[in-house]
């Protein structure tokens, strides 16, 4: 095999292989078409990938943990570090960097920045 396959766009693993018309990563089980892989490496969709404070890729429905205490306007106590937030929703058009929509117990619906959360 003289052709070199591209690394996985999700975990950057070099151990990708072909399965029919798709490329597959054995480490994270991500499957993609070779044409889509070229588009991602070209920078087309790279901006839409949202990562947490430690670099993990976030997706809709993930559970995250707040990594630092946050002040909440209008509340005497803020959100403590270590608070779990379930079932997040990613926002494509972030307002002031707030790219996560969620509901936090005791606070209600709010938006968070991905730089202050860690995937649980």
**Run means of pLDDT, 10 residues per run, the chain, 120 residues:** 74 86 86 65 58 92 94 89 94 87 91 93
Backbone angles phi and psi of 48, in degrees to 5: -85, -5
What is residue 75's predicted lDDT score, i.e. its pLDDT?
Answer: 85
Task: Determine the pLDDT at residue 7.
Answer: 87
**Per-residue pLDDT, 46:** 47
Instruction: Give the pTM.
Output: 0.59
Are the beta carbons of 97 and 51 closer than 8 angstroms?
no
Give the whole-angstrom CA distance, residue 119 versus residue 117. Answer: 7
Say how far apart CA 12 and CA 53 lie, in whole Å.
Answer: 18
- If we measure between CA atoms, which residue out of 87, 36, 39, 79 comes closest to residue 61? 87
C-alpha 51 chain-centroid distance? 4
Q: Return the ∠ at Cα 27 (arms to 90 and 18), rounded to 5°.
A: 100
pLDDT value, residue 95 = 84
DSSP character string of 34-77: HHHHHHHHTTSSGGG--B-TTSPBP-TT--EEE-S-B--TT-SS
Distance between CA 87 and CA 66 in Å, rounded?
A: 14
Q: Which pLDDT value is given to residue 36? A: 58
Pairing status of strand 64-66 against strand 117-119: antiparallel
């Amino acid at each position: 095999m003289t052709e070199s396959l591209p690394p996985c766009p999700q975990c950057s693993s070099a151990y990708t292989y072909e399965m029919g018309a798709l490329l597959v990563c054995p480490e994270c089980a991500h499957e993609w078409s070779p044409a889509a892989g070229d588009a991602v490496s070209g920078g087309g969709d790279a901006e839409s990938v949202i990562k947490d404070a430690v670099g993990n890729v976030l997706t809709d429905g993930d559970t995250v943990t707040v990594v630092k205490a946050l002040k909440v306007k209008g509340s005497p106590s803020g959100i403590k570090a270590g608070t779990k937030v379930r079932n997040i929703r990613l926002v494509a058009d972030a307002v002031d960097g707030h790219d996560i929509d969620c509901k936090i117990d005791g606070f209600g619906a709010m938006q968070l920045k991905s730089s202050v959360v860690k995937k649980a």
